[in-house]
Structure 1
Amino acid sequence: MSKVIIEFKDVYKSFNGLLVHNGINLSILEGEIMSLLGGSGSGKSVMLKELIGLIRPDKGDIIVFGKNVTQMKENELFQLREHIGLLFQGAALFDSLTVSQNIAYPLREHLHLTEKEIQERVDEKLKLVGLSGIGSKMPAELSGGMKKRVGLARAIATEPDIILYDEPTTGLDPMTAQRINELILELQRKLGVTTIVVTHDLHCVRMVSDRIAMLHEGKIVMVGTWEELAASGIQTVKDFISGTICD
């Protein structure tokens, strides 16, 4: 049986008096793909930021690798982030750096590698996301889908144990979105990582998820497989699925 590698315990968070998390409880197993599903403003992306210590919850605990993130000092958070890769919603590439320099950035920040080792790692990750040979290009020369894949190559450059995806298919055409979904599955199989996908894209959820956590009004209202969510009698879940699918 897989062990719990990430756990949110009774987490609360407010911004300017607006309650975003109202007692979040969620356990994520080692090696699984967990999708966080919910409408805009439901607090999905906030959970990722809490997980890596960019945002501190007002109350509650977040346990990663057996340690409480909410009690970590900055140097401990820095060490934790070495084991976590994050694909930002807009890829968040540095415009002034080449593709290779973007991917090399976390390697130089976190690992003690020679320039030769860094370049080998960069080339390897570009190949893994299907973009061999574009290392000298600038972000402005890339399509939206290519930027996402470069961002993904950077996210896995340090060979993390956990990969976080923040809206990985938003703004992409259907074919490119499908390629990103396939990459999520491929990387999980090849690297054996624990994966969290934040999305409201139901096609992505159906394709990649082992389990899904549905957020509504600051709480997790259901956790289960896609089949379990689709058959759910919970009105909130039914409304979200029926209101989003356009058959």
Structure 2
Amino acid sequence: MSKVIIEFKNVHKSFNGLPVHNGINLSILEGEIMSLLGGSGSGKSVLLKELIGLMKPDKGDIMVFGKNVTKMGEDELIQLREHVGMLFQGAALFDSLTVFENIAYPLREHLQLTEGEIRVRVAEKLQLVGLGGIENKMPAELSGGMKKRVGLARAIATEPDIILYDEPTTGLDPMTAQRINELIIELQKKLGVTTIVVTHDLHCVKTVSNRIAMLHEGKIIIVGTWKELATSKIPIVKDFISGTICE
């Protein structure tokens, strides 16, 4: 049986007195793709930020590799982030840096590699995302889908144990979105990583997920496979899956 790598325990978070998380409990297993589903403002992206220590919950614990993120100081958080890759919304590339320099950035920050080793690693990761040979291009020369894939190459550059995807298919045409979905699955299989996908894209959820957790009114209201969500009798789940609730 797979072991638990990430665990949210009774996590609460409010902004200006408005609760976003009201007792989140969720366990994520080693090597699985867990999708977080929910409407806008349901706190999906906030969970990712809490997981890597960019935000602290008001109450509760977040365990990663058996260690409590909420109790970590900055040095410990830096060590944790070396094991976590994140694809941000919009890819969040540095506009003034080449593709090579964007992907090399976390390698220089976190790993003691020679320039030769960095070049090999960058080329290897670009090949993995299907963009070999574009090291010298600038972000402005790339399409939206290419930016996402470069962002993904950067996320996996340090060879992390966990990859976090924040709305990976938002703003992409259907063919490019499908390519990103395929990459999420390929990377999980090739690298054996534990994966969290935050999205409201039902096709993405259905395609990539081993399990899905749905957030509503500050809580996880269901955890299961796509089939289990699609056949759920919970009204809010039925409405979301059927598209009655729109973003």
**Shorter-normalised TM-score: what interval?**
over 0.9
* Distance in structure 2 (CA, Å) of the matches to 1:245 and 1:187: 31
Per-residue CA deviation, residues 193-216 of structure 1 (Å, 9 max, x unaligned), is: 000000000000000000000000
The offset of 1:145, in angstroms, is 0.1
Per-residue CA deviation, residues 207-230 of structure 1 (Å, 9 max, x unaligned), is: 000000000000000000000000
What residue ranges of structure 2 are gaps of 5+ in the alignment? none
Q: Cα distance 1:244–1:121, how it changes in 2: closer, same or farther (>3 A)?
A: farther
Percent pairwise identity: 85
Per-residue CA deviation, residues 161-181 of structure 1 (Å, 9 max, x unaligned), is: 000000000000000000000
- Aligned twin of 2:28: 28
Report the residue type matching 2:85 in the other structure.
G
Report the TM-score, using the length of structure 1 for normalisation.
0.99
RMSD: 1.0
* Distance in structure 2 (CA, Å) of the matches to 1:243 and 1:133: 41
* Distance in structure 1 (CA, Å) of the matches to 2:160 and 2:201: 25
- Aligned twin of 2:80: 80
Per-residue CA deviation, residues 73-113 of structure 1 (Å, 9 max, x unaligned), is: 00000000000000001100000000000000000000000
**1:202 and 1:245 in contact (8 A); partners too:** no
* Distance in structure 2 (CA, Å) of the matches to 1:236 and 1:6: 26
The offset of 1:147, in angstroms, is 0.1
* Distance in structure 2 (CA, Å) of the matches to 1:192 and 1:156: 12
- Aligned twin of 2:154: 154
- Aligned twin of 1:98: 98
Structure 1 stretch 41-50 or stretch 233-242: which is displaced more? 233-242
Corresponding residue SS for 1:169: coil
Instruction: Map 1:1-247 onto structure 2 (within 5 A).
Output: 1-243=1-243
User: How many positions carry a matched residue from both structures?
Assistant: 246
* Distance in structure 2 (CA, Å) of the matches to 1:207 and 1:244: 20
Q: Cα distance 1:85–1:244, how it changes in 2: closer, same or farther (>3 A)?
A: farther
* Distance in structure 2 (CA, Å) of the matches to 1:25 and 1:194: 18
Report the residue type matching 1:30 in the other structure.
E
Corresponding residue SS for 2:134: coil
**1:202 and 1:244 in contact (8 A); partners too:** no
**2:139 and 2:147 in contact (8 A); partners too:** yes
Corresponding residue SS for 1:41: coil
